[in-house]
Amino acid sequence: MMTDLRYGLRQLLKHPAFTIIAILTLALGVGANTAIFSVVNSVLLKPLPFPEPDQLIALGNIDTRQKGQTDLNALSYPDFFDFRDQNRTLASIAALRDPILSLSSEEGASSVRGIKASAEFFEVLGIKPQMGRAFVRDDEQAGGGAGGLKVIISDDCWKKRFAADPNVIGRTVTLDRRPHTVIGVMPAGFQFPIQNDPIDFYVSIAEDAAMPDGSQPLTKERGMHTLAAVARLRAGATIAQAQSDLSTIAEALEKQYPDSNTHFGLLAKPLREEMIGDVRTALYVLFGAVVCVLLIANANVANLLLARASTRGKEIALRAAMGASRFRIIRQLLTESVLLAGLGGAFGLLLAQWGTEALVKTVPQDIPRISNIQLDAPVLIFTLLVSVATGVVFGLVPAWQASHVDLNSSLKSGSRTGGAGESKGRFRKALIMAEVALALVLLISAGLLIQSFARLGRVQPGVRSERLLTARVAPPGVTYPKNENVIAFYDRFLSRIRGIPGVESASTILPLPLSGDNMRTSFDIEESPLPEGQQPAAPVRIITTDYFKTMGIPVRRGRVFDERDRFDSAPVVIVNERFAQKYFPGQNVIGRRIKPGLSADDNGEKIREVVGLVGNVKHLSLRNEDSPEMYLPATQIPARGMSIVIRTSVSNPSAITNSLRKELAAMDATIPLTNVRVFDEYISRSLARPRFNTLLLSIFAGTALILTAIGIYGVLAYSVAQRTSEIGIRIALGAGKSSIFRLIVGQAMMLVAVSLALGLVGAFAATRLLDSLLFGVGASDPGTFVGIVLLVSAVAFSAAWVPARRATRVDPIIALRAE
């Protein structure tokens, strides 16, 4: 074997041009595959970093009227407590939500990401604190039970904020102006949810068990859905058994609480599946694309090996004549192929390192676990296997064909090949056909995504995003306990903002469009009420005056909220055009009366008069269709945490950020200003995933097209060289240059035509996988298919043009003399 390796290495060094081209071609294919596989491995294949991860499930509400629903909606506290107490299939269950917390320190107030979690949260995940203890049921009580409110901190927080103090247990942290006692420190590397922004503070749900103004706490509000839930199955229990168990409880709750729980079912699904979400399809499509690139690259190298083997006919014949068996010759040639593939894999690994770093920077931040993407052991093993498989699979056929020699013809002086020329030619054509077909599939897929992304980018969000700055602020309940305190805070803050130079208008909203947050409430129409529990539901937005002016949302009819709309004045509501079209088709919606389920008073729901009709806004995503929406005045339905929206007269809205912070600090230095960004960033984030998918698939498709063009050129150039005598005879017999040109190009295009037919069949099948990724264009869009076929045909013709021109310049005298 060592002899084969040494001889193979000498052969590669003797032909540096061939070696460099082959290594670079393989490196491109292997490197791209390794980089994408590192993402697939980290996001899709790695198990969750918790003990027995297959036992972990996610829970959420679903609408039982919608068949096949898989999206999990938030739970309410009372429902969660019932599921926790009544289930028979779960070892433990926990609820959580992720508020932005205000951390008070000597440097002032700052915002930090936190998790509010129930007692069994860490028990469900199977992770114990490295110091201290986890939450217990007593910590959930109003006020935090014995010892007051409590917090568990991350290892990173312990090291950075507490200098790794070994006596940190028992120290106090002020969060949302309330002292919290540190009771535990999580181990290094612990992170939940599995996302890219680390969580530093885990607090108990005790704060939700008591409201500062004495009103009903969240833990008692069955109609307020704010919680995600995770659970661990009992030993021996299956997810199907858990689903049946929990569905039975949900049905009982629906009967017991029809006002709040009608049509509310419960769905259990693997936690890993819930975290991956809809990322799976896109990553598998991209991985399939790079596999196609690798196959095309390997086909090119196989053609190079065939061409090189043809020039070694005499050498192989001599080895056979001296007693070398066919197996021995194949082993030698295969060793050279594997050596070539190994070098290509090594260089591909270097490309993969660079490519992985580039991917981490460009991958959308909402894709889970991207911070864990690396070239670890599984990725390196994948690279090794791909490299070895490449050398063996695509080196075997050339080696097999080259080993089949006719000693008599091969040993003749001047003989150029070693036989089996016809079968070699067929194999070369088969490789080219595969290349063209695969390239066509990739190009059509990329073309569809490009069209989809272009159409998505032209979608109007319903607001004027230019010169618009957003931020978030949340006055804490400790110092702003009553509704009137919250209303007064926002009135004063907005008044200060409007006085900042460069500010045209300012307002607030909850939730902000395209932020990913949403609120829904059931409602009834006064003149046509439905039976209890059968009312429709629609998204609801809480806003202050000047919101529509600030966001540039057109008012179609009626009026906007103003100073008339106070906490104790007549309840009012504004609806969008889609709401009017769906629930009041062909009618004037102004003056109609509806009864939303969201209300600030303790006496139940209020009937509200519709006073305005406004344009539609894309709140959840640019992909989503317009949905019916209601706008309620914050002066009547106060919201504690709201987004500030500011229309500026300056080209860079961020320029007023410092002034904004100063105005807030002048009012209350303990309240942090968070999520400060221009609104265009939210639009960009909404486009991040389709942009990423389109960019990568386009790069892979372009690479495939270039490699295919090179492959066509190489095969035709070799064919012309092998057919020099034939072409010389044709010219000697009177064939003109144009007929020779048509012969070469015609044969090439006939081959391409068959390849395109095969590729179209593959494209029709493959593009079915793109359905969920497309917007505004069908997976079988005829314009895309026709356009890409013409593009590939043009590239193939261009690749065939140079060899065909060379064939027309063959000198028949020289060609025949060589024979």
User: For 336-350, how does the pLDDT look when each residue is reduced to its tens digit (9 = 90+)?
Assistant: 778 888 888 899 899
- Same domain flag for 249 and 177: yes
Mapped onto helix, strand or coil, the DSSP state of residue 559 is coil
Are 91 and 234 members of one domain? yes
- 682-717 tens-digit pLDDT: 999 888 889 988 998 999 999 899 989 888 888 788
Domain identity same for 709 and 819: yes
CA dist 112 and 107 (Å) reads 14
Domain that holds residue 514: 475-670
Burial class (CB in 10 A: 0-12, 13-18, 19+), 122: buried
pLDDT tens-digit profile of 383-423?
888 888 887 877 776 666 655 655 555 555 444 444 445 55
Residue 229: pLDDT band (50, 70, 90) is: very high
Please say whether the beta carbons of 727 and 409 come within 8 A. no
Q: Give strand pairing partners of 640.
A: none
Strands (E), 223-344: 225-233, 264-270
Residue 218 lies in a domain: yes
Q: Roughly what angle, to the nearest 10 degrees, separates helices 421-457 and 737-766?
A: 60
Beta-carbon contacts of residue 249 (< 8 Å; ≥ 6 apart): 82, 83, 86, 87, 266
In a domain, 144, yes or no: yes
CA 268 to chain CA mean position, Å: 23
| Same domain for 429 and 522 | no
Containing H/E element for 274? helix 271-276
93 and 220 share one domain: yes
CA distance 272 to 747: 53
> How many domains does one find in the chain?
4
CA 338 to chain centre: 36
pLDDT of residue 547: 95
Q: Tell me: the pLDDT tens digits for 247-280?
A: 999 999 999 888 778 888 999 999 988 888 778 8
Q: What mean pLDDT, rounded, does the chain reach?
A: 85
Does the pLDDT value for residue 793 go beyond 50? yes
Query: In this predicted model, which residue has the larger pLDDT, 406 or 56?
Result: 56
Q: Are residues 243 and 346 in the same domain?
A: no
Note whether 724 and 741 are same-domain residues: yes
- For 706, the token pair is 């270039």
Q: For 68-92, what is the mean pLDDT? A: 91
- Residue 797, class by beta-carbon neighbours within 10 Å (0-12 exposed, 13-18 middle, 19+ buried)? middle
Task: Give me the mean pLDDT over the 606-613 stretch.
Answer: 91
Same domain for 624 and 586, yes or no, is yes
CA distance 183 to 185: 7
d(CA 653, CA 501): 11
Q: Residues 6 or more apart from 761 whose CB is under 8 A from it?
A: none
Distance CA 438, CA 461 (A): 37
> Which of 670, 686, 715 lies at the terminal end of a domain, its last residue?
670
Whether 678 maps to a domain, the answer reads: no
Judge whether 281 lies within some domain. no
- How far is the CA of 472 from the CAs of 102, 429, 673, in angstroms? 12, 63, 6
Where would I find the beta strands (DSSP E) of 288-393?
none
Residue 220 lies in a domain: yes
Confidence bin at 93 (pLDDT 50/70/90): very high
What pLDDT is recorded for position 204?
92
Residues 222-232: what's their mean pLDDT? 88
Judge whether residue 201 has pLDDT over 90. yes
Tell me: do 643 and 511 sit in the same domain: yes
Dihedral sign computed on CA atoms, order 63, 69, 74, 76: positive
The pLDDT of residue 315: 61
Least confident of 171-180, 239-248, 299-308, 321-330: 321-330
Q: Cα 145 from chain centroid?
A: 42
Give 491-531 pLDDT, tens digit per residue: 999 999 999 999 999 999 999 999 888 887 778 888 877 76
Which pLDDT score is estimated for 602?
40
Determine the pLDDT at residue 8. 63
Dist CA 790 CA 449 (whole Å): 18
Higher-confidence position of 397 and 674? 674
Say yes or no to pLDDT of 807 above 90. no
For the purposes of burial, counting CB atoms within 10 Å of the CB of 809, is it exposed (0-12), middle (13-18) or buried (19 or more)?
exposed
- Residues 316, 443, single domain; the answer is no
**Which tokens belong to 280?**
């799976």
pLDDT at 176 over 60: yes
Residues 612 and 729 in one domain: no
pLDDT of 414: 46
pLDDT range class, residue 446, cuts 50, 70, 90: very high
Q: What was the pLDDT predicted at 416?
A: 47
Answer whether residue 287 is part of any domain: no
Mean pLDDT of 454-470: 92
Task: Say whether pLDDT at 656 is over 50.
Answer: yes
Q: Among 462-476, 560-574, 628-642, 802-816, where is mean pLDDT lowest?
A: 802-816
Looking up tokens 């937005």, which residue turns up?
541
Does residue 389 share a domain with residue 252?
Answer: no
Backbone angles phi, psi at 778, to 5 degrees: -80, 155
Using 50, 70 and 90 to split pLDDT, how confident is the model at 365? Answer: confident
Task: Indicate whether 53 belongs to any domain.
Answer: no
Question: 13-27, 56-70, 204-218 — which is least confidently predicted?
Answer: 204-218
What are the structure tokens assigned to 805, written together? 């021109």
Q: State how far the Cα of 676 lies from the Cα of 681, in Å rounded to an integer.
A: 10
In a domain, 532, yes or no: yes
